[in-house]
Every structure is written in structure tokens, then in C-alpha cells.
């Protein structure tokens, strides 16, 4: 197999886990949005919609898997696209463990106290949407780096 075709196969093989990991992110965001709608209607959200398990385990698994696969695929940690991909996954992990978790905890606290009409509720929902958007951009940048493999 020629070098360009091997590169194409490797990039497509690397793309699969990233896309598979991003699917729970979208479903978690949908569940959280649905949970907010249920809470607005006065119904109780289920534990699955208020806390998605995929959001807690996805980034660490992807980060560890990436660290393991770099030497397995005979790549260098100094390659620009590897650095970009691992840095973006680490930032996604950091964002989820700090700001997103805190915002969601505050939303759950306000929801339990029937405070959905307060200005704080709307501000927190906007903040959560913005944080999810930033996280999605980070994850899409990982996919971009793995597909196009930019170099200096």
C-alpha cells in the first residue's frame, strides 16, 4: 500500500472513535434541553436527563486512548495535528469538569426550588448553551485535526 493510501486509511480509522464519542455529547445536550422543558412544565426530570454518564467518561477515555495510539501508530507527539487534537480534548475535559459541571449543578439547584421564572434561570440556560457550543467547537477541531493532519 502506498504512503498516501496508508495515511488515508489511518485518518479514517482515527476518525471513527472521535465521531462515536461526539454522539453522546449531542444526545446529552438534547436530554438536558428536554429536561429543562419538562421542568418548565412542572414535571420532574429523570436522573438520566439531568446527569448524562457519557459526558463524564467520554473525554478521559478519548484522551487516554489518544495517548496510547500515538506510539502505536508510529506517530510523534511533536506532530502539530497530534498536539492540536490532544490539547483540544484536554480543554474539553477541563471545560466539562469545571464550568459545564458548575452551571448544570446551579441549574439543577434552581430547578429543585421552582425558580425557573427568575432572571438567573434564563442567564444560566444561556451560559450552558454557550459552554456546550464552545465544547462542540473544541471537539470538531479534534476531528478536523485528525482528518486534515496539519503540519508546520
Query: pLDDT 10s digit of each residue in the chain, 152 long?
Result: 555 555 555 555 555 555 444 545 554 544 454 445 544 444 444 444 444 555 567 778 888 888 898 899 888 989 999 999 999 999 999 999 999 999 999 999 988 887 777 889 999 999 999 999 999 999 999 999 989 988 87
Residue spans of alpha helices (H) in 2-118:
3-40, 47-50, 53-72, 80-95, 101-112
Quick one: cell of 29? 445536550
Which pLDDT belongs to residue 31?
Answer: 46
The Cα 103–Cα 106 span in angstroms is 5
Which pLDDT belongs to residue 58?
Answer: 77
The Cα 79–Cα 62 span in angstroms is 18
8 Å CB contact between 25 and 52? no
The Cα 45–Cα 56 span in angstroms is 19
Which pLDDT belongs to residue 106?
Answer: 92
The Cα 31–Cα 23 span in angstroms is 12
Which pLDDT belongs to residue 6?
Answer: 56
Which pLDDT belongs to residue 118?
Answer: 82
Which pLDDT belongs to residue 55?
Answer: 57
Which pLDDT belongs to residue 66?
Answer: 84
pTM over 0.75: no
Which pLDDT belongs to residue 45?
Answer: 47
In total, the chain counts a number of residues equal to 152
What are the backbone dihedrals phi and psi of residue 41, each rounded to the nearest 5 degrees, phi first? -85, 0
The Cα 67–Cα 60 span in angstroms is 11
Which pLDDT belongs to residue 15?
Answer: 52
Amino acid at each position: 500500500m502506498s504512503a498516501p493510501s496508508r495515511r488515508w486509511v489511518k485518518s479514517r480509522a482515527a476518525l471513527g472513535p472521535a465521531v462515536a464519542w461526539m454522539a453522546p455529547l449531542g444526545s446529552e445536550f438534547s436530554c438536558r434541553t428536554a429536561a429543562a422543558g419538562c421542568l418548565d412544565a412542572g414535571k420532574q426530570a429523570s436522573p438520566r436527563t439531568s446527569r448524562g454518564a457519557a459526558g463524564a467518561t467520554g473525554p478521559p477515555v478519548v484522551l487516554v486512548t489518544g495517548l496510547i495510539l500515538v506510539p502505536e501508530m508510529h506517530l510523534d507527539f511533536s506532530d502539530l495535528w497530534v498536539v492540536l487534537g490532544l490539547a483540544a480534548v484536554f480543554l474539553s475535559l477541563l471545560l466539562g469538569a469545571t464550568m459545564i459541571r458548575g452551571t448544570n449543578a446551579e441549574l439543577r439547584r434552581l430547578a429543585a426550588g421552582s425558580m425557573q421564572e427568575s432572571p438567573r434561570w434564563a442567564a444560566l440556560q444561556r451560559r450552558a448553551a454557550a459552554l456546550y457550543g464552545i465544547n462542540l467547537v473544541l471537539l470538531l477541531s479534534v476531528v478536523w485535526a485528525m482528518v486534515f493532519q496539519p503540519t508546520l
